[in-house]
Chains A and B, each alone.
Chain A
Amino acid sequence: MTTGYAGRTGRAGRAAGLAAAFAGLAIGLWAAVGPPRTAHAQPPGGAYPRPTADDKKRLSLIGAAECKACHSEDDPASKELYQQTKGFEFVRLWENKVWSAHDLHSTAYRSLLTDRTVKNKKDAPNATAQRMEDRLRKYKGETYTVAGDVACLACHASVRQPADLLPPAAWKAASFSTADGVGCEMCHGHGSLYQNRHRDSREVDAKDGEASRVVDWRDAAPGTKREWGLTDLRDPAVAAATCASCHIGNKDEGRFVTHDMYAAGHPPLPPMDLLAYSREQPRHWGLPAEMPYLTKLAASNPAKAFEVFHVRAGESHVARRFAEAALATLGATATLGEQLADDAKKKNDGLDFAAFDCYSCHHDLKYPSERQDRGYVGRPGRPLYRPAAFALARLVLDHASGMDKGEGLKGAPAELDKLELELADAFTVKTYGDPDKVRAATAKLAKWTAEARKKLEPVRYTPAEVTKLFNKVVAAGADPKRPVGDPEVAQLYTWAVETLYLDLYKPVNKKEPPAELVKLTKNLEGSVVARLRPKTAFYYEQQASGPLPGQTNGRDDSVDHRLKERMDTFNSFRGAPFRKAFMELKAPK
């Protein structure tokens, strides 16, 4: 919902962002795991050392092949190499396997290839890219290729250095490594400085069955790790902002899908949901509850566990991540809105159309019109921001304001409504938005979402509270008085109930999907886009071997095909079946 929406990439691109974000996790995780090495001498217990200014200038891309050396294990627990550090209790160590088998981020660059740029025999041109390139040549000249366009590479490849060292304005095609598509480091941070450091270990006295070497890096403060290059993807806000860079767009980071790109054929970016995106990525990392190192730390040193890993005993990490990410996503959208308003001012033109809700304009005209039945926010006939992020953030805040220690959020839902109205006015007072007003409203909104997110810190997402939040989302989806009319809101609600249901659900075994979610998927089939990869069946955690369930192969599916399936469903959205499906939903016992 907000204004400046925009920039995610299509399937492929999205994949990229996703991958990025999540690959990030993987790396981060692995970071602390590798085989024992002799450490740079470090005072045990002291603060972790920080890089020098000269170190920082050398921060650059190392490539997935380097990460793979350790993060590509089949069964790390059985390997001698990891016994001393017990790295497999901290991270999976098979991250790269899952990523290269399933993750669309790894194909992000290949999605740009056309008959002019395919070199490798095993690659085929991507029909979507081909169409875009053919069209864009009319405007950009006969030597243009999408695979050589930095605006495309920004989200479809790996930039060799971070933006503070290599600013987007200076990007050339050669600034990007294309080998891994959106590789590990696009989410986890450029690796040249932490590559060795994150696995350095030193010997300690260990009791039976415990690690005999510790990796000091693991418990270093996230800010210090950041200085060495590692992005703290365990922080939901950081993770959401990392994904959002491509999947929503961030002009300051050189990433934004303009309406020109869409008009040339770029697939629309779906609404962003951190948890659903990472489920479908699929995640290549263990949830904190699955990693003994983290569960033990949460019990033995709660303050450290939260400060470093955002993990708390007795609280659902997933629910907290979901809630904080909902606000961070709204914030990222607002930030893009600010950037687009500035851009419009500079060009003395309206906001880029990509700032608006695509479906404000791109809908079939029907009689009778559901839009007219529903009514409009503000004046009829003026395009708005995308509403979905607002809808989800409002539910999260509404729930949190009633939680123990959530008093700080008492007025938050009403404040959010006010901010949304202000933005609606900024968008509709002029045909393509009033840049000054949009700037003011989005800046306010970005700041406010960050503050509201901070106020979530004291509350505890206990199972009882997660159930309440689940019920709140269900009630919002089933509400006949305020029917959900926007397919993206329906999509986010659907993902939210899946996230929260799975968090509460205790599977008997990990083979059978929860019956309640199977029923939901069936009820929504053909009407709500519940899967980013069409027809993917349910899974708890995808392993490296075998295709994603329901798919012959996770990646032989063309972008065109995925897009068609998605948009057919999207365009068939109807409120009634969605409402009915939500009415039938019950929280797990």
Chain B
Amino acid sequence: MRAVPFVAAAVAAGVVIGAFNAARSQPPDRLPGAIAPAPPLSDKPYGVGSAPFAQRPSTSCAAAACHGGGAIGRPGSEHSTWAREAVPSDTGDPHAKAYSVLFNPVSVRMGQLLGIKEPHNDQRCLACHAVTEGTGAATTRDQFLSEGVGCGGCHGPADKWIAEHTLPSWKTRSNESKWKEFGFVPTKNLVARTLNCASCHVGDGTRDMNHDMIAAGHPRLAFEPARFHAQQGYRKHWTEKGPARDFEVRMWVIGQATTLRAAVNLLYERASRAARVAKAEPVERDAPWPEFSGYSCYSCHQSIGEPALRGATGPARHPLGAPRWEVWSNTAAGVAAETCGLAFPGVSSPQLTRVEELRKLMSANRAPDPAEVARLALAARTELDRWLAELQAAEDRAPAPVAATAPQRVVGLLAAGALAPDGRLADHDWDALAARYLGAASMFAATGGRAGTGAAWADPLTATHGALRFPPGANGPVRFGPPELNTIRKQFELLRNTTGTPEGK
């Protein structure tokens, strides 16, 4: 755990996952199944929504000759690697126990507090803790449930492609046609992959993990695709194509884009539901508005009486005492937009003006008008979809390699952006600092860690991680005070200076 990959992988993911895990509750571990009809417009990425096909249980994949070879970590043994019971240690893929956690004491108490009799039998929980769409009769449904978020959750309902994907002709099909015609999620395309992850790890119209649930005991969600891939103890059942640098840089950029897109989409879903409530139209279920889980947790969850900290310094004109919308997914997205041409040479940076308008609207008052939010969120989502469609197409084109200098540029921008012109931290919000840190950690991984060209970043990153980490027993940045902030400020200064980014940029 003190080894080289520590900083990048364990540490980085550790902050998010480890930090939440300090709660010893479950990590935000659910993956989606299927989604709704995909709109045909070409300025949208494919892979959004659910494919209208039947699921197959994971046992269909686990034949010894297919993906159940039994040799952990080897091709042909994907299911064996994924499944927890395949080896005695408990290091399998957390998706495999997504359903079983619904029986644990935390889930049971959550159910009591929320008035959910049986969490393992309630669609609000099962939507992400199992595969339930397209699972057919009750008997097979039980089998699907017991698999947790099984193969179909991430790879798509297999009924139409299970035979097809073994044929030589499968390889000649485009990713888009695999999705559109067969419901297969082409996870090799990082945009398609992370969009699918985000449907649970951020949420969507049918998977809404809200603040009521968090108050009842559910861990908060803080999706960061690049570092989730490097989560400590996570046993990947695949290998990424191409060099690590390409993967890490692209994954980070795409991760920022998809996470923000999913957050905007979830906001859209929540706002349009609230707008229907406002017009006294029927809705599926009780829908709070505004929804707290869309705001930075620690805007509010900070103790009173620490004068140095009160209120994040925030963007200069953020209203006093107002919680900030989606600090987690907004903070580093601008850097990702600025540098997406480094990840995919030839792709130009998007203009995210509607997203910016949405940010303004969301901090204008305590309870923004849901209809207006829905309208603007839809426009912002369209803007992000256009960007994602470009990134996705670039992924499919097998783009030119990422330049060796790209990670340094990204780290420089992340670090410089953390600092205000007067040299102080521009933002004290833990989410904002963590998002920048995780981005820099991804870039550290992209350069090959301590043995690579970014070796000089190792110490600042380790120090930042130490300052961000939640104290024992805490489920948030308790006592996150001037010493921690000062440490972090110094590290970002170091990172900015070692990457040669001009001050003030």
A residues lining the B interface (CB < 8 Å): 127-128, 131, 135-136, 138-139, 259-260, 262-265, 267-268, 347-351, 353, 358, 361-367, 369, 371-372, 375-376, 379-382, 430-432, 560, 563-564, 566-568, 570-571
Contact = CB atoms under 8 A, between A and B. Distances in A.
A524 to B, nearest CB: 18
B316 interface: yes
Contacts of B25: 367
Contacts of A260: 319-321
Interface string B469-488: 00001111010000000000
B369 to A, nearest CB: 8
Interface of B: 22-25, 109, 112-114, 210-217, 288-292, 297, 300-307, 310-311, 316-317, 319-322, 365-367, 369, 473-476, 478
Contacts of B301: 361-365
Contact of B289 (A371, A376, A430, A560): A430
Most B CB contacts (10 A, CB to CB) among A347, A351, A362, A381 go to A381
Given A128-B307, A365-B301, A380-B114, A350 B367 contact: yes
Given A135-B311, A367-B25, A264 B291 contact: no
B320 A350 contact: no
B22 A382 contact: no
B123 to A, nearest CB: 19
B292 A381 contact: yes
B367 A571 contact: no
B217 to A, nearest CB: 5
A372 B475 CA distance: 13
Which secondary structure dominates where chain B touches chain A? loop
A364 B305 contact: no
19 contacts: A131-B307, A260-B319, A260-B320, A263-B310, A264-B321, A347-B365, A350-B366, A353-B366, A358-B304, A367-B473, A369-B475, A372-B109, A372-B215, A379-B114, A380-B113, A380-B212, A381-B214, A382-B215, A563-B307
A567 B304 contact: yes
Nearest to A566: B305
A367 B366 contact: no
Contacts of B300: 361-362
Given A135-B311, A560-B307, A567-B303, A366 B478 contact: yes
B364 to A, nearest CB: 9
Contact of A571 (B303, B310, B311, B319): B303
A259 B305 contact: no
Please name the 7 residue pairs, one residue from A and one from B, whose CB atoms are nearest each other, closest first.
A567-B305, A263-B321, A381-B215, A365-B476, A367-B23, A380-B215, A361-B300
B56 to A, nearest CB: 37
A369 B217 contact: yes
Contacts, number: 136
Contact of A139 (B23, B113, B302, B320): B320
Nearest to B105: A368
B33 to A, nearest CB: 26
Contact of B288 (A138, A362, A431): A431
B320 A135 contact: yes
Contacts of B291: 431
Contacts of B210: 381
Nearest to B369: A348
A453 to B, nearest CB: 32
Given A349-B367, A362-B301, A570-B305, 9 more contacts: A262-B304, A350-B367, A363-B303, A367-B24, A372-B215, A375-B113, A380-B113, A381-B211, A381-B215
Contacts of A380: 113-114, 212-213, 215-216
Contacts of B212: 379-382
Contacts of A268: 304-305
Nearest to B293: A381
A353 B367 contact: no
B289 A362 contact: no
A566 B307 CA distance: 13
Of A131, A347, A430, A560, chain B has the most CB atoms within 10 Å of the CB of A430
Nearest to A559: B307
Contacts of A372: 109, 113, 215-217
Given A363-B303, A364-B476, A365-B301, A376 B24 contact: no
Nearest to B299: A361
B311 A263 contact: yes
B451 to A, nearest CB: 36
A376 B303 contact: no
A260 B300 CA distance: 13
Contacts of B290: 350, 431-432
Contacts of B369: 348
A258 B297 CA distance: 21
Nearest to A131: B307
A367 B289 contact: no
A371 B216 CA distance: 9
A143 B303 CA distance: 31
A85 to B, nearest CB: 49
Contact of A365 (B307, B311, B367, B478): B478
A365 B215 contact: no
Contacts of B292: 381, 431
Contact of B366 (A138, A349, A362): A349
Contacts of A570: 304-305
**Residue among B22, B112, B311 having the largest count of chain A Cβ atoms under 10 Å:** B311
B307 A362 contact: no
A567 B476 CA distance: 19
B336 to A, nearest CB: 28
A546 B461 CA distance: 56
Nearest to B365: A349
Nearest to B214: A381
Interface centre among B289, B300, B320 (most CB of A within 10 A): B320
Contacts of B320: 135-136, 139, 260, 263-264
Contacts of A371: 215
Given A349-B365, A369-B475, A430-B288, A564 B305 contact: yes
Contacts of A431: 288-292, 367
A432 B367 contact: yes
A263 B321 CA distance: 5
B216 A265 contact: no
